Amino acid sequence: MYNGAGLVFNIQRFSIHDGPGIRTTVFLKGCSLRCYWCHNPESLGAAPELQFMPSRCIGCGACVEACPLSRGKATARFTPACLGCGACADVCYSGALTLAGKEYRAGELAEALLKDRELMKSSGGGVTFSGGEPLLKADFTALVFTALRAEGVHTAVETASNVPWEAFGKLLPLTKLFICDIKAPDAELHRKGTGAGNELILENLRRLAAAGADILFRIPVIPCYNDSVDSIGRIGAFIKSLGRPLPVELLAFHNICAGKYDALGREFAARGTKPPPGASMEKLANTLRALQLEVIWKQQ
């Protein structure tokens, strides 16, 4: 039985990148893919996770005192025994230890989001649920969106679409815009980069387009993975095959998230990868434009 709560690791106000106007983006924990370039590594696990920044640690020892598993020595952070309870982060006043993942009740979150409703409405903005994979928490998202739509707030989800169709079914009536990633044109390449094939994703996208949903496609451009004219062209051909004039945005890979992997004590498999040059991005944008697709891409 669903308990009406969801685990949020970030609430970003005044966002201008996740849909129209000025928005608040809510990042939920938990994802069904493991993209090796993921720039939100704190989103992947479904449970709260500790983050540690050694440069902020003043060696006060308060975390050791607070940890129920420390036995007077080190805390249990980054060990399999760690409970993710956050007792150490609660007493770390320098900010060296933080806990990614805070539980919200749907009503509590909606109330917090609605404080910005006038700004959202006057800018043509709204609220975007991202992650992680918000459609893994479709019941929670639907509860919050119901409250937001009742107040006339625009709603969007950013999804990798690797979820059962039933999740889309719950959100279709409540979601004004679906921002859908497409990472690779075929199952083999998709599995290599994300750990899962793309058959379910493509089927969901076909059904979503056929249902008349407003969709913005996003392609993360990852050097030495999907940045060839052939790969991007085949993704463009899929979008074209949906038979509707749906826009597509190219997002250039960046590695500024490397510090987040360090803070979580995790390897970052794309650490040595450089962002794609502007000329390469323009070439890929032109590949999509040649298919008469509307392309959004800005030099960063």
What does the binding site for ligand SF4 look like in residue numbers (CB under 6 A)?
A: 50, 57-63, 66-67, 69, 75-77, 82-88, 91-92, 94, 96-97
Are 47 and 152 contacting, i.e. CB atoms less than 8 angstroms apart?
no
Of residues 3 and 94, the one with the C-beta less far from ligand SF4: 94
For residue 249, what are its two tokens? Answer: 């945005």
Lookup result for tokens 């890929």: 284
Minimum CB separation of residue 127 from ligand SF4 in Å reads: 30
Of residues 55 and 300, the one with the C-beta less far from ligand SF4: 55
Minimum CB separation of residue 62 from ligand SF4 in Å reads: 4
Of residues 77 and 154, the one with the C-beta less far from ligand SF4: 77
Query: Which residues pair with residue 220 across a beta bridge?
Result: 251
Minimum CB separation of residue 47 from ligand SF4 in Å reads: 11
Of residues 82 and 257, the one with the C-beta less far from ligand SF4: 82
Minimum CB separation of residue 60 from ligand SF4 in Å reads: 4
Of residues 19 and 45, the one with the C-beta less far from ligand SF4: 45
Of residues 91 and 291, the one with the C-beta less far from ligand SF4: 91
Minimum CB separation of residue 218 from ligand SF4 in Å reads: 34
Distance separating alpha carbons of residues 251 and 223, to the nearest angstrom: 12
Minimum CB separation of residue 95 from ligand SF4 in Å reads: 8
Residue by residue, DSSP assigns 32-76 as S---TT-S-GGGSSSS-EEEE-GGG-----HHHHH-TT-TTS---
3-state secondary structure of 137: helix
Please give the C-alpha separations between residue 144 and each of 29, 109, 114, 148, 171, in angstroms, as whole numbers: 16, 7, 10, 6, 11
Distance separating alpha carbons of residues 152 and 121, to the nearest angstrom: 8
